[in-house]
Structure 1
Amino acid sequence: MNFFEHQDRARQNTQQLVGLYVLSIGLMIGAIYIAILFLLRMAPRVWWHGELFLGVVCVTTIAIALASLYKIFCLREGGRVIAQELGGKLLISERANEQERQLLNIVEEMAIASGISVPEVYLLDAETSINAFAAGFTPNDAVIGITRGTLQHLNRDELQGVIGHEFSHILNGDMRLNLRLIGLLHGILFIYFTGRLLWHFRSSSREDKGLPLWAFGLVLMLIGGIGFICGSLIKAAVSRQREFLADASAVQFTRNPDGIAGVLEKLQSMDSRLIAPGAEAVSHMFFGNALNPSFWEDILATHPPLVERIRRVRGVKVRNTTACKGLPENKVYNL
């Protein structure tokens, strides 16, 4: 598979996975509908009630949409909100030291290579690990965040590879998709929180007539939890595909596969985890795994294995094509 076929396949797979996310919300609607049938003591005699089903679809969809829109509204200022929540400080050239000025120069170089405007750069000064992210809804409000450890442990070529990787997320719309996924997950969590509210309402009443409401609250909690897990699985799958695409794009922008490969090889023995409390909600935006390994790591990991990422980058050869802007001629990228 050549370089640009790999890009097309990553985008197609992402669209399919987003469709599965929507399907998971549909399953939640179905589960709520069945729960209401039992709550109204209609099941198992009646399994289909058109007006009730339509009502469940409308109410659930509106509730998820409003909760999601509220979260997205909170992020309306773009990537700088994420950067500031993670403890980042805006880098200004006039006040930057030598390492920071080198970073700003590389960001300007990658902006020229990718053909987009230069984003703001935030430094996560308290983070000593190797990691970076891009966040925003459009290239105009995009920011790049990078940890202090990345500046300290990477050489210029490796740092260029990381920045090229993040510019891919800006150019290909990954960061916009990531923010929308945060909103969708918040919508699903709203169902869980609604169920928990009904659960606590039952705890304040000992009357038997409160039992159906208590039971419905418990069902909503279970449905919300299942929906959250399904959403996390799909978010992880989307992010994995985009990481492969961003690695490939970094090679395209920098013309140097050794840069991005060198970073990935260092991450095999160095830390990429973050200490910021808000890192979990945005872990899928980062260059490397930002969280501690868990029992569900293989299933819910937002990044593909480092060995696989290195293998795909190290196998790069470049083929001359009119679409290969800025790439060396007479080579072929097999990814």
Structure 2
Amino acid sequence: MNFFEQQDKTKKTTKKLIVLFSISVFALGCLNYLIVQFYLSTSKSYSSVSYVGEPGVHGHQEMHFTLWDPKVFVLTVGITLLVILVVSIIKGLSLRDGGQSVAEMMGGIRIAHDTTNLNEKKLLNVVEEMALASGIPVPDVYILEENGINAFAAGHSIDDAVIGVTRGCIEKLNREELQGVVAHEFSHIFHGDMNINLYLISLLHGILFLHFVGRFLVRSSGSSRRSRNNQGGAIVIGGLVLMVVGYVGYFFGRMIQSAISRQREYLADASAVQYTRNPHGISRALAKIGGFFHPSESHSILQNN
């Protein structure tokens, strides 16, 4: 399989996983509906108890559970999705800083074009080469004073993207290996991986918010006088439901997010080979990186930040 076939394969897989992620968010709303509908149905059954049997003879209580109620479905699913959407948008807006802000937040220092450091000059030359190969404008380059071998791309578009590289990366990798690493990051910029990460992180935050709301309801009800009556009991049950649904949704969402991140890393590796026309650079760089930590974990941490 050549690098173009690998790129097509990973793109298709990513699309399927993103669709699956979106479906899982809707499924959370449906799960909330089932739990709420069960509670409402059983509550109505208890409030209007009917007994089956002959007069004067002890009978049994008849319970009714109505699975489908369109009004409750629209209300429950709608509120669930609305809460997730609003919280996700708020989280997304808080992460909309450009690449420069992200790089500086991580402690990066912009490399001046007239730098006299030979390793930094080598890095700037490699970045210019990869910009030409990928057809992307030359981004600003930041150096992180860390001994480990790592690099990251930050920003939300080609225009505000930056590349960050650790000091250990430019000192411990030769030019060929550095080309592979930089080309890998250019792929993240070219294919919009930062926006995909922003989308996933924001949605996960919205899902987890359900858990926090549920925990707040349980705690506030437990410390309130209303917890002694039926209303307080209903609040506790509702809070527990939100806690469970939010945590389960977050757990499976994280699994899908990890799978998407792996696919984007495979795509970046294939694109690095395309840009450099040299499979040995990225493979040897990853071999060296493996001596410090797992490369996929490294990229995930830096991109998510």
Q: Please name the residue that 1:29 is paired with.
A: 29
Measured after TM superposition, the shift of residue 270 of structure 1 is 2.6
Choose 1 or 2 for highest CA Rg: 2
Aligned residues: 282
CA distance 1:42–1:14, change in 2 (3 Å): farther
Q: Please name the residue that 1:224 is paired with.
A: 246
Higher helix proportion (structure 1 or 2)? 2
Question: Is the 2:3–2:270 Cα contact (8 Å) retained in structure 1?
Answer: yes
CA distance 1:280–1:131, change in 2 (3 Å): closer
Uncovered stretches (5+) of structure 1, i.e. residues with no partner: 274-278, 291-335
1:178 paired with 2:184, answer no
Measured after TM superposition, the shift of residue 4 of structure 1 is 1.5
Per-residue CA deviation, residues 241-283 of structure 1 (Å, 9 max, x unaligned), is: 111111111111112211101111113323368xxxxx99952
Q: Which of the residues 177, 184, 188 maps onto 1:158?
A: 177
Q: Please name the residue that 2:142 is paired with.
A: 122
The amino acid that maps onto 2:229 is D
Determine helix, strand or coil for the equivalent of 2:114.
helix
CA distance 1:222–1:89, change in 2 (3 Å): farther
Per-residue CA deviation, residues 196-242 of structure 1 (Å, 9 max, x unaligned), is: 22122123224233122112112211111111111111111111111
Q: Which of the residues 217, 220, 225 maps onto 1:198?
A: 217
Identify the range of structure 1 (155-164 vs 200-209) with the bigger mean alpha-carbon deviation.
200-209
Q: Please name the residue that 2:264 is paired with.
A: 242
Question: Is the 1:75–1:81 Cα contact (8 Å) retained in structure 2?
Answer: no
Question: Is the 1:132–1:145 Cα contact (8 Å) retained in structure 2?
Answer: yes
Q: Distance in 1 between matches of 2:141 and 2:243?
A: 40
Question: Is the 1:135–1:176 Cα contact (8 Å) retained in structure 2?
Answer: no
Q: How does 1:279-298 map to 2 (within 5 A)?
A: 283=301, 285=303
Determine helix, strand or coil for the equivalent of 2:252.
helix
Q: Distance in 2 between matches of 1:58 and 1:84?
A: 39
Q: Please name the residue that 2:127 is paired with.
A: 107
Uncovered stretches (5+) of structure 2, i.e. residues with no partner: 46-63
Measured after TM superposition, the shift of residue 42 of structure 1 is 5.3
The amino acid that maps onto 1:26 is F
CA distance 1:280–1:220, change in 2 (3 Å): farther
Q: Please name the residue that 1:59 is paired with.
A: 79
The amino acid that maps onto 1:260 is I
Q: Please name the residue that 2:156 is paired with.
A: 137
Q: How does 1:206-221 map to 2 (within 5 A)?
A: 206-209=227-230, 210-221=232-243
Q: Distance in 1 between matches of 2:77 and 2:103?
A: 36
CA distance 1:81–1:193, change in 2 (3 Å): farther
Q: Which of the residues 81, 88, 98 maps onto 1:78?
A: 98
Q: Which of the residues 275, 284, 289 maps onto 1:267?
A: 289
Determine helix, strand or coil for the equivalent of 1:92.
coil
| TM-score, scaled relative to structure 2 | 0.85
Q: Distance in 2 between matches of 1:61 and 1:255?
A: 46
Determine helix, strand or coil for the equivalent of 1:139.
coil
1:3 paired with 2:6, answer no
Q: Please name the residue that 2:109 is paired with.
A: 89
RMSD of equivalent CA atoms: 2.5
CA distance 1:171–1:27, change in 2 (3 Å): same
Aligned-residue sequence identity (percent) comes to: 46
Determine helix, strand or coil for the equivalent of 1:93.
coil
Measured after TM superposition, the shift of residue 158 of structure 1 is 0.7
Question: Is the 1:178–1:284 Cα contact (8 Å) retained in structure 2?
Answer: no
The amino acid that maps onto 1:19 is V
Measured after TM superposition, the shift of residue 7 of structure 1 is 1.2
| TM-score, scaled relative to structure 1 | 0.77
Q: Please name the residue that 1:304 is paired with.
A: none
The amino acid that maps onto 1:113 is A
Q: Distance in 2 between matches of 1:55 and 1:124?
A: 49
Q: Distance in 2 between matches of 1:186 and 1:202?
A: 24
The amino acid that maps onto 1:124 is L
Q: Distance in 2 between matches of 1:252 and 1:59?
A: 46
CA distance 1:58–1:96, change in 2 (3 Å): farther
Measured after TM superposition, the shift of residue 94 of structure 1 is 3.4
Measured after TM superposition, the shift of residue 169 of structure 1 is 1.0
CA distance 1:256–1:282, change in 2 (3 Å): closer
